Chain A
Amino acid sequence: MDFAINWHSCFFLLFAAIACGFAVGVVVSSNIVRMACCLVVSLSAVAGLFFLAGAEFLGAAQLMVYVGGTLVLLVFGVMLTARGPFVSMKTGGGQWVLALIIGIALFVVLLQAATSSTAWDGPSGNGQTTVVSHSESSLKSNDGSDAAGQIGLGLLGVRSDKLEQEDRVLREGMSGYLLAFEIISVHLVVVLIGAAFLARARRRIRNPESPGPRIPESSHPRIPELS
């Protein structure tokens, strides 16, 4: 039987279609909340693409950080500011043109970068119908690559995947990502503190003449005069 389904390609196409389709949905939709939901699905599909590429750590990180964290925040903000159901955002014609220009320019740049990488021409050489057997062995941590450990060590300044690099020239500049890691961590702390500061509950002085529902300040029932 020569018929074989290349599941890897199938899933890749599926995830890519979902990612692109729902990204288009974000742009096209006029309801803020639906935009946020399309974004959720699109980023989840990107996480799926990461999983397909064998980068489980990155996929899980994508799910946790983007989908779980950022989008929860986005959805909260969207829903709390939606005054009434189905707030719609209409973009004017000029904005569409500008967006199209920027989008097409970015697309051209990305296309050029993608096609210039020679390793990405054509399918992988060993003719496997599924990449499962290969990735299964790489998924087992005991033998094969321990991607999470390597990423961790890389962030701490030890590029353990390049230990076999003999060339002195190439070895320099391989000190890992410790500085970037620390800078980003401090940056996140600053952002957290700033957000907490901005969101602090401000004690408002009660204005007795402020309009609002007309309930008297004191709720003592006033007994009417007895006849």
Chain B
Amino acid sequence: MQAERVQPDTVEFDVRTDEMLINMGPQHPSTHGVLRVVLRTDGEVVSSVVPHIGYLHRSAEKIAEKLTVRQYLPFTDRLDYLSGMNMNLGWALTVEKLLGHRVSGKTRHLRVIIAELNRIASHLVAAGCMGLDLGSFTPYMWTFREREKILNLFEEICGARLTFSYLLPGGVKEGPPEGWLGRCEAFLDQFEPVIDDLHALLTNNAVFIKRSASVGTLPPETAINYGCTGPVLRASGVDWDIRRDGEPIYTEMYDGYTWRVIAPVGGRYPDDHPYPPIPREAAVGDSWHRFFVRMLEVVQSMGLIRQAIEKYAAAEGELDKPIEIRKKLPAAGAYLETEAPKGQMGFMIIGDGSAIPWRARIRSSSFCHVSVLPELCRGVLIADMPTIIASMDIVLGEIDR
């Protein structure tokens, strides 16, 4: 990357509130991970933003050149560690695409349940942390309380709360234990009123709206140019969801499900649910809409999980066994993008005939979201920076890999 010749250590304190260099991070309560953002401010107004990444770089892609595809699975957990199951799913599907392996319907339905549960968990963190960065601690506690219940479910099914390594290429590690599906449904039933509480405390809260409406508005063309995906792209009004528009090996997971893609096309959201009203001050593509899209996606995920539980219970056959441990990969490459909660997560694997890939490449959505920050943050106030970063919902694990 072009050297920017920034001297962030020379922070000048100019008495006439001239320009000042402020360093946010890498240790920081409000950057979501070890992100360092250097702001050049003119008084309170930010004139330019330079994000510095790499503090969490762990050579994930290089390590993939040393391990078999099944051995590599735990490393994918640590990419977007808040939604480990979706990372596992992406990797597993890429391997299956490379091998030409197709899993049975029952496995696909279980994968839908797991992936959407993790989407809810990840969006809960996003919502809670956005509230936290804006100063209200209570929704953070409530979202984490609900997230605990999801993590308990995951712990029952695979033994881990954060780094699951559950969705293996070819299948899943083990089937769900007795009564797990019933407990999932019980969780969903008690979760619905909590969403209304969160709407009352955050989405419809006048102070929250004041802080986030029309702040960091991302036009759709800029979003597409910078490669933004997921809720960030959809909140700018672009109707694109790779669960519906992606490759068949991924979209067949969601075949037969009734769900809506949440995007304010023409300023209007899908109306299949009594959603809270949109405030006047919010412009499509601002931080409030990015937050709102995530809240609405949670409702869609809940519907998907309920349908998947029914389909899984009704499906015949058994869950697939994963591929053998040292399965040889063909001398070819495969790239697949899946819809992770933060955006589109892409994995590319190039095999060379042996069990160990020749090259693996990870395309993370948060990387593009961080790269659009300088564009978004020109002319905002310093206090808007945490709002914008929180609404982007980045996680440094997948940016730095």
Contacts and interface: CB of A to CB of B under 8 A. Distances in A.
A and B touch in the complex (CB under 8 A): yes
Interface of A: 80-81, 83, 212-217, 219-224
A119 to B, nearest CB: 51
Given A219-B48, A220-B374, A221-B371, A214 B15 contact: no
A226 to B, nearest CB: 13
B24 to A, nearest CB: 15
Interface in B31-54: 38, 40, 48-50
Nearest to B51: A219
Interface in B305-337: none
Contacts of B10: 213
B19 A212 contact: yes
A213 B15 contact: no
A222 B6 CA distance: 15
A213 B40 contact: yes
Contacts, number: 39
A81 B49 contact: no
Interface residues of B, number: 19
A224 B2 contact: yes
A220 B376 CA distance: 11
B1 A224 contact: yes
Contacts of B48: 215, 217, 219
14 contacts: A81-B15, A83-B15, A212-B19, A213-B6, A213-B12, A213-B19, A213-B21, A215-B4, A215-B40, A219-B4, A219-B48, A222-B2, A223-B1, A224-B2
Nearest to B1: A221
Contacts of A223: 1
A213 B40 CA distance: 9
B117 to A, nearest CB: 36
Contacts of A219: 4, 48-50, 374-375
Contacts of A217: 48
A11 to B, nearest CB: 42
Contacts of B6: 213-215
Residue of A80, A83, A217, A221 most packed against chain B (CB within 10 A):
A221
A219 B370 CA distance: 12
A200 to B, nearest CB: 13
